[in-house]
């Protein structure tokens, strides 16, 4: 049995700052009292302990309190991505069989019209209270959160994350990073995503403050890093670049008090790591996924420059192996550990999450001679051209090293002679001719890897965690190429 994290944290450090948002701060005691009240209000509205409910809203204190209230009730929370379409949300509600939806007022219009039961946050906040017996202990197998994967299989899968999964992930992370009472985690990633939700879990287990942003704000975050008002932050490659650009524009360095940017969601271009080093900004690449409740491997800060491009070694309780490696040692990354999901819900409820105890990730990578993991790409995104394997991330990294390119995405296009050829999409910082970008690629890449076409667009398709959706790039291909 584990203690109710919210009650235990409020008991241990009641007056310590827990959450900061737009200049206002709440202590752990205050968050506990607010979430206990909200739990009683949810009970009065008919929500029962251990119900499966869906929840959707922007990353604000109101959502944090609602999440904690549901945790008090031991509800299974289906964390809805508010950036999805109505039809995508409808699929998740139907598949999850959630008994009701808790939705922020500003997101009410996103709820499908045939949804039988939902409650606005304002309705909950203004309702009567009903006495409920809040459990002081939780079981390790209790499902806390459910998050849908991005759906490379055609249908998104609802992934269960248990109390034990989250606690194992948070414990492994702190054994790697260390812990001080005044550490602050800057959260500018959505709370409906595993990277954001895990920050709340760490806050409760570690007793650290979360500085919450509703939306990513590069200038405000850069200022925060300059001042050292926070110590850690989770980013993906695209948000890392925006922070680097903001710091470079100010000709400013990161404060010594700021300890680390944890970069996940895919390989980070080496150029970004070099730029970060020049700004005294420590960046640790991480590797994790929804099925592993956040991090599985993280590169230790002291290895950052010696092992550029690596996601590090598995965290303390975790194991990684490469399945069916080729001659270069590249194969599918497989994971085992207490942070791995016990399974799925809905249409995939009967699908095992592991094979002989190992989670098969669908990612391609290799381990070097020192045991460091290098993530090459998604297997589903692999381009096979004339029998040669082409990893989109390799081409993207080359394009991103050019000073005129802000973002890059690569996908494969069918070709009568070669089977597939790579096509690149770029978002530019400054005007440059396509011919010059092609020439740049030709200097850095083998001929068969040079993009057949480079297409300039205003923005790349991304999911709620700002991860590039390469399968969506195929839909953007012009009909005349």
pLDDT tens string 341-361: 999 999 999 989 999 999 999
Q: DSSP string covering 129-172, please?
A: -------SEE-TT-EEEEEE---TTSS--EEEEEHHHHHHHHHH
Query: What is residue 448's predicted lDDT score, i.e. its pLDDT?
Result: 83
Under a CB-based contact definition with an 8 Å cutoff, are residues 39 and 132 in contact?
yes
Mean pLDDT of 411-439: 90
What's the whole-number average pLDDT of the chain?
92
Tell me the CA distances in angstroms from 323 to 310, 314, 360, 366, 432, one per residue in order: 18, 16, 8, 9, 42
Residues 219, 369: Cα–Cα separation, whole Å: 40
Mean pLDDT of 12-26: 98
The region of weakest confidence among 36-40, 154-158, 207-211 is: 154-158
Under a CB-based contact definition with an 8 Å cutoff, are residues 103 and 58 in contact?
no
Band (pLDDT 50/70/90 cuts) for residue 365 is: very high
Mean pLDDT of 219-236: 95
Burial of residue 188 (number of CB atoms within 10 Å: 0-12, 13-18, 19+): buried
Query: What is residue 107's predicted lDDT score, i.e. its pLDDT?
Result: 96
Residue 20 has pLDDT above 60, yes or no: yes
Residue 27 has pLDDT above 90, yes or no: yes
| pTM reported for the whole predicted model | 0.85
Under a CB-based contact definition with an 8 Å cutoff, are residues 364 and 331 in contact?
yes
Under a CB-based contact definition with an 8 Å cutoff, are residues 21 and 212 in contact?
yes
Band (pLDDT 50/70/90 cuts) for residue 114 is: confident
Please list, in sequence order, all residues whose beta carbon lies within 8 angstroms of the beta carbon of residue 22, skipping any fewer than 6 positions away. none
How does DSSP classify residue 267? P
Band (pLDDT 50/70/90 cuts) for residue 381 is: confident
Residue 152 has pLDDT above 60, yes or no: no
Q: What is the pLDDT of residues 32-88, one digit of tens each?
A: 999 999 999 999 999 999 999 999 999 999 999 999 999 999 999 999 988 887 888
Query: What is residue 84's predicted lDDT score, i.e. its pLDDT?
Result: 82
Mean pLDDT of 318-330: 93
Mean pLDDT of 388-404: 86
Band (pLDDT 50/70/90 cuts) for residue 301 is: low
- 468 or 304, higher pLDDT: 468
Residue 116 has pLDDT above 80, yes or no: no
How does DSSP classify residue 255? -
Sign of torsion over alpha carbons 166, 168, 169, 170: positive
Query: What is residue 182's predicted lDDT score, i.e. its pLDDT?
Result: 93
Residue 154 has pLDDT above 60, yes or no: no
Given the structure tokens 């850690």, which residue do they identify? 232
Going along the chain from its start, the domains and CATH numbers come out as 2-138 (3.40.50.980), 165-380 (3.40.50.12780), 383-476 (3.30.300.30)
Residue 155 has pLDDT above 90, yes or no: no
Please list, in sequence order, all residues whose beta carbon lies within 8 angstroms of the beta carbon of residue 107, skipping any fewer than 6 positions away. 56, 57, 58, 82
Under a CB-based contact definition with an 8 Å cutoff, are residues 295 and 285 in contact?
no
Residue 274 has pLDDT above 90, yes or no: no
Query: What is residue 37's predicted lDDT score, i.e. its pLDDT?
Result: 98
Band (pLDDT 50/70/90 cuts) for residue 387 is: low
């Amino acid at each position: 049995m584990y203690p109710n994290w919210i009650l235990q944290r409020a008991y241990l450090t009641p007056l310590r700052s827990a959450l900061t948002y737009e200049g206002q701060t709440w202590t752990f005691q205050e968050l506990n009292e607010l979430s206990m009240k909200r739990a009683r209000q949810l009970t009065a509205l008919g929500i029962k302990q251990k119900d499966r409910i869906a929840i959707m809203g922007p990353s604000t204190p109101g959502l944090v309190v609602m999440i904690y209230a549901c945790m008090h009730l031991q509800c299974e929370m289906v964390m809805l991505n508010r950036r999805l379409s109505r039809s995508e949300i409808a699929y998740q509600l139907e598949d999850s069989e959630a008994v009701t939806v808790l939705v922020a007022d500003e997101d009410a219009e996103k709820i499908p019209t045939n949804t039988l039961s939902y409650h606005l946050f304002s309705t909950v906040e203004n309702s009567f209270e009903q006495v409920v017996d809040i459990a002081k202990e939780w079981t390790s197998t209790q499902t806390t959160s459910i998050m849908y994967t991005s759906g490379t299989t055609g249908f998104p899968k609802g992934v269960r994350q248990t109390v034990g999964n989250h606690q194992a992930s948070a414990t492994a992370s702190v054994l790697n990073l260390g812990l001080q009472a005044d550490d602050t985690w800057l959260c500018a990633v959505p709370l409906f995503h595993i990277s954001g939700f895990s920050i709340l879990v760490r806050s409760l287990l570690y007793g650290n403050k979360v500085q919450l942003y509703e939306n990513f704000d590069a200038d405000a975050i850069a200022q925060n890093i300059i001042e050292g008002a926070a110590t850690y932050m989770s980013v993906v490659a695209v948000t890392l670049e925006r922070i680097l650009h903001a710091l470079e524009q100010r000709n400013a360095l990161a404060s010594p008090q700021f300890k680390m940017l944890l970069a996940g969601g895919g390989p980070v271009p080496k150029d970004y790591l070099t730029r970060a080093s020049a700004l005294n900004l420590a960046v640790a690449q991480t590797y994790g996924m929804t099925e592993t409740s956040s991090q599985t491997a993280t590169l230790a800060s002291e290895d950052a420059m010696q092992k550029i491009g690596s996601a590090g070694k598995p965290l303390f309780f975790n194991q990684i192996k490469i399945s069916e490696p080729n001659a270069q040692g590249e194969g599918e990354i497989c994971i085992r550990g207490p942070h791995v999901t016990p399974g799925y819900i809905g249409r995939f409820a009967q699908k095992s999450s592991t094979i002989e105890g190992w989670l098969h990730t669908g990612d391609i990578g290799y381990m070097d001679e020192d045991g460091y993991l290098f993530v090459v790409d998604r297997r589903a995104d692999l381009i096979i051209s004339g029998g040669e394997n082409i990893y989109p991330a390799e081409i993207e990294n080359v394009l991103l090293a050019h000073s005129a390119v802000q973002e890059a995405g690569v996908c494969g296009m069918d070709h009568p002679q070669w089977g597939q050829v790579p096509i690149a999409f770029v978002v530019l910082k400054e005007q440059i001719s396509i011919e010059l970008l092609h020439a740049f690629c030709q200097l850095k890449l083998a001929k068969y890897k040079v993009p057949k076409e480079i297409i300039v667009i205003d923005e790349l398709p991304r999911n709620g965690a700002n991860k590039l959706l390469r399968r969506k790039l195929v839909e953007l291909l012009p009909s005349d190429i």
